[in-house]
Amino acid sequence: MEIRANATLVDEFRIAGKMPAQWVSAFGAVRREQFIPDRMWVDEGTDDIECVPLDRAEEPERWRAAVYSDKVIVTQFDDGATVWPQVGYRPTCSSSMPSAMLGMLEALDVGEDHRVLEIGTGTGYNAALLAQRAAEVTTVEVDPTLAEHARTALAGMPTVRVVTAEGATGRHPGAPFDRVLATASVRVVQFPYGWVAQTRPGGVIVTPLRADLASGPLVRFTVGKNGTATGRVVPTRVGFMELRAHRTPSRWRRLRWDDPAADLTHSDLQPWTALLAEGPRWAIAVAVPQCRYDVWKRTPERPHGVAWLVDPCSGSWASVVPGDAEDRYDVRQHGPCRLWQEVEADRPTNPPR
């Protein structure tokens, strides 16, 4: 049953044109279920994460169908503080969609003589796939419980080394590497230079980028002889959890949008499209990389919505509401950073309405 299910997933990708020829044998040889805990959550959502708990002992067929589907399997919430079957606030470990993994592996372009560093072991499934092609894989996991689970699942693969450590810092055994793959997203202004320093000139680093405001693109960097790396965006859509070393507070204290202590200015930049549309929001995220956003709907007590930018680190915030004229918005800003001014300074043109 397991082997047939594995082959079915591979066949689906081949028919859809998503299976690069060099990865067919790897995906056929590695069974995903070997790395997935018996109790897990499957993401049944389309746009937002909608996790449903599944127990292999109680629903074996449904569990297996989820494992051998092109879906995200969440294996940990809130760094392990949330106990199955409860659904936690923050997913902190998952087995990514196999199609997304394929896109990243294809961009990495692994050769048979390559030494590979993987940042973010998770379940160990991706490291097992890498081991089918690379000469040696060093995979780093910050969470000791997750690292031990992966170490057990990978025990039969002598070319894989599981290291329990912080992936964003430190020098890892096996360096220098020909390829580095991060399965956790990197804050756009905090790219770990240690990855560049541990990669051979001409080597490749593939990582998702992000800011607090939005997930960013997958980028393929090539390391130069002068100790720098230059990257290009890969046309593969991904969304990954951030490196734990790059986390910032995700909630903020309740604020008053019309706080009289805030500085009042005006803007012609339409905030709803700017914050809710993916393209403009990523441009804003690059301008103010530590910010979170929110959009409040109108209420009977407040006949207009409120757009928010909040920097939990500095305590700065900006609220934007419709002004007293068309295409005019009232902007209130407070704290050491003028967040909306940063947004306006970085925009090339007004976003389409």
What residues act catalytically?
A: 96
CB atoms within 10 A of CB 69: 17
Angle, in degrees to the nearest 10, between helices 98-108 and 2-15: 70
CA distance 351 to 180: 36
Would you say 178 and 114 are in contact if contact means Cβ atoms under 8 Å apart?
yes
What is the DSSP track for 331-348? EEEESSS-HHHHHHHH-S
Instruction: Please name which of 226, 215, 183 lies closest in space to residue 97, comparing C-alpha atoms.
Output: 183
CA atoms within 13 Å, Cβ hemisphere of 188: 19
Q: Which residues contact 69 (CB under 8 A, 6 or more apart)?
A: 9
Instruction: Please name which of 89, 118, 78, 77 lies closest in space to residue 101, comparing C-alpha atoms.
Output: 118
